[in-house]
């Protein structure tokens, strides 16, 4: 609590549940918007009359998918630190307002074509700023509101709401886009307005607030450095000249090298300023360090897999089972629901268990389950029986949920009360950065796998159906990323590529029906795609094993332990302004804190406070 602030009200049961309900709704909404647009993209681009698969428009498609996550990855730690300085609830409430206003502006796109795409991308950036303000401070608000023995449950519910939002957004996006593409943004407005009013009226500052100077140089070097690295990863999967990817582009290399250099400068700055944005001293806490390392590895292992599963379903499995390409976005979301169910079951349960038995064992066991799901997915044929696929993705969701709740509780319960906003932002930064990097890594591995075998299979398949050899070769040498994005957009890539040439009308009816049917392209794609899947799942399994080892290296004791009113662990050296503190000094400070806490008679009676 900042000097001069009035005494705060106690953390009563009623307030705890208000904080949990409000922050869970906010995090669900913010995470849902990260994925709801993916399924709605076909309707969005049809609505603004833009072909996203033409050579000059692929960047619009990428920024619609990646821009939201990039902004969140860059901003959450800054906004968490500002929450520590100026009030976590205040920053959180403002995030609700920004998110709601951006959603309204997104739904009133007045332009068509490229200008319409730029309008959406720009306001998605603002929406991501609001979502970052919510995500950076929600975990800190819950950690302030809940006692240590209930903190794992609260953070588990909050964390799983974010993961569930990602996958429910896939279904909801398909349902709403079938009505009107603007509805994917309209849905946020009533939730945002209600959540904003609710937060302003019922949430209050119950944690410490420490005003200080803004670390301008740290903010600038971190934002530009991390932003450059993530933008480089985004453009690295786009074609460059004659190459299927852009990792050799001087611009991409410059962004990656320059971004890494600025991040090194950022670390140097943070070790020298009195009030750093990124509290590096928190990494002296074992639970914080290994919890974040495990979380980063899991995010890289999991983030891009969502896209691979969508492509697997939309580009191959669903068309082979009679679903039209236009229907595949919605049904892909529906068929991925077992993964969401796994999250929803295991997340809160593991949070409750971690409160009783500690975080290390449960989180590590979750990683073991998570790893086994990838091994099982590697063994599936491309044209799988659905019950086997559903079982394995449900196991994947269960493992992810078993890890997420205890890991979040371990990280947030290990830091001093005054640093919870910064810790929450740092945790979210690792998670969002890992997801963004994962998309680049997964697409790179898949494109590299497809580049070796898809052109030959596609060229020979087109030639057998009567397509002239020169045109077949031209189509086959187009970047594989276009075929992958066509699957995400629910488009038959063969029909999309051949229709402008006029060759379809000159072919016999049987050949034309075969080329534009639902089995020709999936039949060609499934062999090369399966090879790429094996590589992707192998990398994810290896990362999951490393995440399990990192989780195992955290302290075996319960992450939070007994705490005083300021949130410091009693009887253990803690961290205050970035450095270790002796036990005698800690106890002296605790006595001062306790003397400043009001007695029972200083608070309103029952019914007179939230």
d(CA 220, CA 278): 12
Kindly give the interhelix angle for 420-464 and 58-86, rounded to the nearest 10 degrees: 170
CB atoms within 10 A of CB 86: 18
Categorize the per-residue pLDDT at 563 as very low, low, confident or very high, splitting at 50, 70 and 90: very low
Q: Which CATH number fits domain 13-214+277-449+527-552: 3.20.20.140, 3.40.50.300, 3.30.230.10, 1.20.1250.20?
A: 1.20.1250.20
For residue 347, give the nearest of 371, 363, 330 by alpha carbon: 363
Does residue 157 have a pLDDT over 60? yes
d(CA 177, CA 41): 8
Residue 12 pLDDT: 52
Residue 398 pLDDT: 93
Q: Which of the given ranges, 39-48, 56-65, 295-304, 494-503, has the highest pLDDT on average?
A: 295-304
Q: Which residue has the higher pLDDT, 593 or 483?
A: 483
Q: In the predicted model, what is the mean pLDDT of residues 509-513?
A: 88
Residue 139 pLDDT: 80
289-293, 464-468, 502-506: which range is least confident on average?
502-506
Does residue 328 have a pLDDT over 50? yes
Residue 175 pLDDT: 83
Does residue 233 have a pLDDT over 80? yes
Categorize the per-residue pLDDT at 372 as very low, low, confident or very high, splitting at 50, 70 and 90: very high
Q: How does the average pLDDT of the chain come out, rounded?
A: 81
Q: In the predicted model, what is the mean pLDDT of residues 243-254?
A: 88
Domain boundaries in the chain?
13-214+277-449+527-552, 215-276, 450-526, 568-599
Residue 55 pLDDT: 65
Does residue 483 have a pLDDT over 70? yes
Residue % of the chain over a pLDDT of 70: 87
Residues facing residue 580 across a β-bridge: 575
d(CA 309, CA 313): 6
Q: In the predicted model, what is the mean pLDDT of residues 237-257?
A: 86
Residue 22 pLDDT: 92
Q: How buried is residue 7: exposed, middle or buried, by Cβ count under 10 Å (0-12/13-18/19+)? A: exposed
Q: Are 162 and 168 a contacting pair, CB within 8 Å?
A: no
Q: Are 296 and 431 a contacting pair, CB within 8 Å?
A: yes
Cα separations in angstroms, 303 against 230, 437, 547: 14, 8, 14
Q: Are 532 and 562 a contacting pair, CB within 8 Å?
A: no
Q: Which residue has the higher pLDDT, 253 or 446?
A: 253
Q: In the predicted model, what is the mean pLDDT of residues 280-306?
A: 89
d(CA 312, CA 459): 21
Does residue 579 have a pLDDT over 50? no
Residue 594 pLDDT: 46
CA 466 to centroid of chain Cα atoms: 45
Q: In the predicted model, what is the mean pLDDT of residues 225-242?
A: 84
Residue 298 pLDDT: 93
Kindly report, residue by residue over 90-148, the tens digit of the pLDDT. Answer: 999 999 999 999 999 998 889 998 999 999 999 999 999 998 899 888 888 888 888 87
86-95, 214-223, 554-563: which range is least confident on average?
554-563
Kindly report, residue by residue over 173-189, the tens digit of the pLDDT. Answer: 878 887 888 988 998 88
For residue 494, give the nearest of 516, 473, 511 by alpha carbon: 516
Does residue 34 have a pLDDT over 80? no
Residue 2 pLDDT: 42
Per DSSP, the residues of 229-274 read: HHHHHHHHTS-BTTBSS-TT-HHHHHHHHHHHHHHHHHHHHHTTSS
234-238, 408-412, 483-487: which range is least confident on average?
483-487
Q: Which two tokens stand for residue 166?
A: 């990602």
Q: Is 444 helix (H, G, I), strand (E, B) or coil?
A: helix
Does residue 590 have a pLDDT over 50? no
30-34, 95-99, 501-505, 569-573: which range is least confident on average?
569-573
Q: In the predicted model, what is the mean pLDDT of residues 437-449?
A: 84
Residue 208 pLDDT: 65
* Three-state SS annotation for 146-208: CCHHHHHHHHHHHHHHHHHHHHHHHHHHHHHHHHCCCHHHHCHHHHHHHHHHHHHHHCCCCCC
């Amino acid at each position: 609590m900042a000097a001069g602030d009035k005494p705060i009200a106690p953390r009563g049961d009623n307030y705890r549940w208000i904080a949990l309900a409000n922050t869970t709704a906010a995090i669900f909404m913010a995470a849902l918007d990260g994925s709801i647009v993916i399924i709605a993209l076909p309707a969005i681009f049809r609505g603004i009359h833009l072909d996203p698969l033409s050579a000059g428009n692929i960047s619009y498609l990428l920024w619609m998918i990646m821009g939201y996550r990039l902004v969140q990855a860059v901003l959450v730690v800054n906004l968490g630190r500002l929450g520590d300085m100026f009030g976590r609830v205040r920053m959180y409430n403002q995030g609700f307002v920004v998110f709601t206003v951006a959603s309204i502006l997104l739904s009133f796109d007045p332009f068509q074509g490229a200008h319409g795409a730029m309008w959406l991308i720009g306001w998605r950036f603002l929406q991501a700023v609001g979502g970052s303000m919510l995500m950076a401070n929600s975990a800190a608000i819950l950690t302030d509101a809940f006692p240590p023995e209930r903190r794992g449950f609260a953070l588990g519910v909050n964390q799983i709401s974010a993961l569930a939002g990602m996958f429910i957004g896939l279904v909801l996006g398909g349902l709403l886009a079938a009505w009107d593409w603007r509805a994917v943004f309209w849905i946020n407005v009533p939730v945002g307005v209600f959540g904003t009013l609710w937060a302003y009226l019922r949430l209050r500052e119950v944690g410490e607030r420490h005003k200080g100077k803004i670390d301008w140089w740290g903010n600038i070097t971190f934002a530009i450095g991390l932003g450059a690295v993530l933008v480089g990863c985004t453009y690295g999967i786009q074609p460059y000249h004659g190459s299927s990817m852009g990792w050799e582009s001087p611009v991409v290399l410059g962004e990656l090298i320059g971004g890494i250099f600025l991040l090194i400068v950022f670390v140097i700055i943070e070790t020298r300023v009195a009030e750093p944005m990124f509290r590096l001293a928190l990494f002296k806490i074992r639970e914080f360090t290994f919890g974040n390392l495990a979380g980063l590895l899991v995010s890289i292992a999991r983030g891009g897999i969502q896209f691979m599963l969508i492509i697997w379903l939309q580009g191959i499995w669903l068309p082979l089972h009679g679903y039209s390409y236009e229907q595949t976005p919605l049904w892909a979301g529906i068929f991925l629901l077992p993964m969401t169910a796994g999250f929803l079951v295991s997340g809160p349960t593991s949070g409750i268990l971690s409160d009783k038995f500690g975080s290390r064992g449960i989180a590590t066991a979750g990683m073991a389950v998570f790893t086994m799901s990838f091994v099982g997915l590697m063994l599936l044929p491309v044209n799988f029986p659905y019950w086997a696929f559903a079982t394995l993705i449900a196991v994947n969701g269960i493992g992810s949920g078993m890890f997420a709740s205890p890991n979040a509780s371990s990280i947030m319960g290990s830091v001093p009360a005054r640093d919870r906003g910064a810790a929450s932002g740092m945790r979210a930064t690792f998670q969002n950065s890992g997801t963004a990097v994962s998309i680049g890594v997964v697409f790179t591995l898949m494109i590299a796998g497809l580049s070796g075998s898809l052109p030959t299979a596609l060229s020979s398949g087109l030639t057998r159906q009567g397509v002239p050899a020169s045109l077949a070769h031209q189509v086959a040498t187009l970047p594989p990323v276009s075929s992958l994005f066509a699957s995400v957009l629910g488009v038959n890539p063969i029909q999309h590529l051949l229709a402008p040439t006029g060759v379809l009308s000159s072919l016999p009816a049987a050949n034309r029906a075969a080329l534009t049917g639902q089995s020709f392209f999936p039949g060609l794609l499934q062999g090369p795609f399966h090879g790429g899947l094996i590589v992707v799942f192998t990398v994810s399994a290896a990362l999951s094993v490393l995440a399990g080892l990192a989780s195992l290296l955290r302290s075996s004791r319960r992450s939070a332990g007994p705490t005083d009113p300021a949130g410091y662990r009693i009887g253990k050296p803690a961290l205050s302004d970035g450095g270790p503190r002796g036990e005698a000094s800690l106890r002296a400070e605790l006595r001062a804190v306790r003397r400043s806490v009001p007695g029972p008679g200083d608070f309103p009676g029952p019914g007179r406070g939230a």
